Amino acid sequence: LIFLPFRGQNMTSPSEVPLEAITVLSSEHGRERRLQRNIAIKDLQAAIKYGKKIPGFKRPDGRETWMYTHAGITYVTDSTSKKEITSWAAQGCGVNVQKFTIARKMYQDHERAQNTIRNKSKWTSHTVAVVDQ
């Protein structure tokens, strides 16, 4: 996060800075997640400027993080609030998923797959699926 005051002004907090002057230093992971979740940089800038800032979760290496929440967007930064870690939208908040009518065969295939998953005797591997939202 870089606050760029206008000439002759001494700004110290995000609320005093124009939205477009708040710089987000992106990470590869953060960019990927924003693309997947249809979150714009301006949404992160707004979260910093107008949102609620709370301590985030510790990273695996023990470093602290910050979480900003605003208008259904949660934005996680490093301990300095300068580098993006990740972001997500609250479920159903600003992310419209187009409804799709599926064919009967698709539904039957889905039901069959669910039944297979529920029957642990049919499991043949030790695969773990992690879903990052």
State pLDDT tens for residues 74-87: 999 999 888 999 99
Q: pTM of whole model > 0.75?
A: no
Three-state secondary structure call for residue 85: strand
Residue 3 pLDDT level (bands cut at 50, 70, 90): very low
Q: What contacts 24, CB < 8 A, 6 or more positions away?
A: 1, 41, 44, 45, 48, 84
Amino acid occupying residue 124 = T
Q: What is the rounded average pLDDT for all residues in the chain?
A: 82
Give residue 96's pLDDT: 62
C-beta of residue 94 within 8 angstroms of C-beta of residue 72:
yes
15-48 confidence digits (pLDDT tens): 677 888 888 888 999 999 998 888 998 998 899 8
Higher pLDDT, 26 or 123: 26
| Element holding 118 (H helix, E strand) | helix 104-118
CA distance 117 to 104: 20
What is the DSSP code (8-state) at residue 122?
G
pLDDT at residue 132, rounded to an integer = 74
Contacts 24+ apart (CB under 8 A), 115-122: none
